[in-house]
Amino acid sequence: MKLLIEHLHKAFESRIRLGIMSVLAVNDSLDFNALKDYLDVTDGNLATHLKSLEKENFISVKKSFVGRKPNTRYFMTKAGKKAFDDHLKALEKLIKSRR
Amino acid sequence: MKDDQYYIQDIAVMRSMMERSTKFMSVSGLAGILAGIYALAGALIAHQYLYTEGNLTGLVVTAISVLILAIGSAVFLSRKKAAKRREKAWNPTAKRLVVNMAVPLVAGGLLILIVMANGLFILMAPCTLIFYGLALFNAGKFTYEEIKGLGLIQIALGLLGASFTGYGLLCWAAGFGLAHIIYGMYIHYRYER
């Protein structure tokens, strides 16, 4: 049981970070505003969570221009995808083992 | 250690976030019902034009009015539904839905103009059904999956109307009118209450 808990990644303890990862798992890339809409959080709050996921190397940014406006798009890295899949598997196992 | 409910809730969050960001769920069943009613009224007017006066301009005006009313109601009610879900209606999933519907619809629209220019008026109604059906079938990937079934019904009615000339308008009324109302009611009662 202890082992199972260890597979649950600390970074995903926050529901907002879990939400960001879920959304990026099924979309190639999304900009800040789209993420904000889906998660229903404030700018500052979202930025903090994005930063911490970036620090873990789970997500990465792609900067470009739309016309003259700078546009920052977020996407999941390979490491992020693996961590997310492992987390999901661990959750499933945990719930099953307790039934 | 957290309890089961917490982890189950975690999985629920993941699931709903994935769905929310890939599918446009603010499609309105009520708008479907309204579109069906407009279509039935339009078909009645078109019937008058076809069998009494043979007035092509009147027919085209009727068709365009039905289209504008239907799209207008859909946009208005989708925005209302999105606001209720605390989402923006015009989000990336909505864009994806519109782009994927636009390709078959624009192709169909152009074909109908060509068909009209060649005087093959009996094929107009079946063409609208077939291409609209293809658009709906495509849309099923980006919103309620049930929409795929509605698309198949429209395609079948279009092919039926094309093979039995003289029943084109009847098939059109069944597809755009009746099928819309039935599907609209289904979506409304299943998801909007």
A92/B21 Cβ within 8 A: no
Q: Is A98 a member of any domain? A: no
Interface test with chain B among A17, A29, A38, by most B beta carbons within 10 Å: A38
Task: Kindly state the DSSP code that residue B57 receives in the 8-state scheme.
Answer: H
Q: Is A40 on the interface with B (CB under 8 A)?
A: yes
Task: Kindly state the DSSP code that residue A56 receives in the 8-state scheme.
Answer: T
Interface test with chain B among A15, A22, A96, by most B beta carbons within 10 Å: A22
Model confidence at B103, pLDDT cuts 50, 70, 90, reads: very high
Q: What is the pLDDT of residues B45-82, one digit of tens each?
A: 998 887 776 677 888 899 899 999 999 999 999 999 98
Predicted pLDDT of residue A1: 45
> Searching chain B, which residue's CA lies closest to the CA of residue A88?
B11
Structure tokens at B16: 């709903």
Q: Is B17 on the interface with A (CB under 8 A)?
A: yes
Structure tokens at A62: 């792609």
Distance CA B101, CA B81 (A): 20
User: What's the gap between Cα B7 and its chain centre?
Assistant: 39
- Domain range for A75 is 2-92
Classify each residue of B169-191 as buried b or exposed e, where b means 16 or more C-beta atoms within 10 Å of its C-beta. bbbbbbbbbebbbebbebbbeee
Q: Which three-class secondary structure state does DSSP give residue B159?
A: helix
Q: Which three-class secondary structure state does DSSP give residue A69?
A: strand
Q: Is there a contact between B35 and B180 (Cβ–Cβ < 8 Å)?
A: yes
Q: What is the pLDDT of residues B127-163, one digit of tens each?
A: 999 999 999 999 999 999 999 999 999 999 999 999 9
Half-sphere exposure of B38 toward its Cβ, with a 13 Å CA cutoff? 19
Q: Is A94 on the interface with B (CB under 8 A)?
A: yes
Q: Is A99 a member of any domain? A: no
CATH number at residue A48: 1.10.10.10
